[in-house]
Amino acid sequence: MPELRLTPSSSVPQTPSKSSANFFPLKIIIGLLIGTALLVVAAFVALPLLATAFELKGFRSPTSSMCPTICVDEFFMASMNAYRGAPPNRGDVILHSTAQSVALFTKRVVGVAGDTVSPGARKEVLVNGRPLAEPSVCGKPVKPDVRDSVNPPFETVKIPDGYLFVVGDNLSNSYDSRFFGLVALNQVKGKPLFLYWSPGTSRIGCQIR
């Protein structure tokens, strides 16, 4: 007797039923909604923990002395415990007070212990004989305020241990170590991290460096 082999007929298309075809994308949509909800919940839980761990605080810049890094009326987030384990490095942007005031200033560290800071022939600031590099620009900053601009004279100074020389990135309009002198390490209060709001939308989210 010849052997019979059963094979599906090519004349009958093998398609899923209508109900299963509609159910599959519905599962994907439900999965995406659940995943998004979990991410939102995780963010609400994680953000307060991060804020506590890094002691994050928000600030508004009232001047353009640090423009183009931080310009007038821009809001930034700062870590208030960034320097509890180590001092700032040359080039860091810091929050600090001064010997004359407990008010907080935002400036860039250009001289650390052992550095020599001096005025140049064109009133620029020299560090170990070299002029400062131009700060990097993120987005399109608002126009710096140049009213009452001045490059003040100051004496050449070799930075002693425990002190910093700080300036604003907008050198011609900045109240900094050229006026109030050196900043002691115990006057360093925090480190600006990023801009979280700016009149120029291209600046929102810019890292401060």
Q: In the chain, where are the structural domains located?
A: 19-54, 57-203
Tokens of 198: 């700016």
Where is pLDDT greater, at 173 or 127?
Answer: 127
Q: Is pLDDT of 108 > 70?
A: yes
pLDDT at residue 147, rounded to an integer:
52
pLDDT band at 82 (very low <50, low <70, confident <90, very high): very high
- Which tens digit of pLDDT belongs to each residue from 5-58? 444 444 444 544 454 445 557 777 776 777 676 666 555 555 555 556 668 999
Taking the CB of residue 41, how many other CB atoms lie within 10 A of it? 10
Q: Calculate mean pLDDT across residues 112-119.
A: 97
Q: Is pLDDT of 2 > 80?
A: no
Predicted TM-score of the model (pTM): 0.75
Residues 6 or more apart whose CB falls under 8 angstroms from that of 35 comprise none
SS3 180: helix
Q: Could you tell me which of 132, 175, 131, 178 has the C-alpha nearest to residue 157?
A: 178
Rounded distance, CA 119 to CA 128, Å? Answer: 11
Classify domain 57-203 at the CATH superfamily level.
Answer: Umud Fragment, subunit A (2.10.109.10)
Rounded to the nearest angstrom, the gap between the alpha carbon of residue 101 and the centroid of all alpha carbons in its chain is 25
Q: What percent of the chain has pLDDT over 90?
A: 62
pLDDT at residue 8, rounded to an integer:
45
Rounded distance, CA 145 to CA 71, Å? Answer: 9
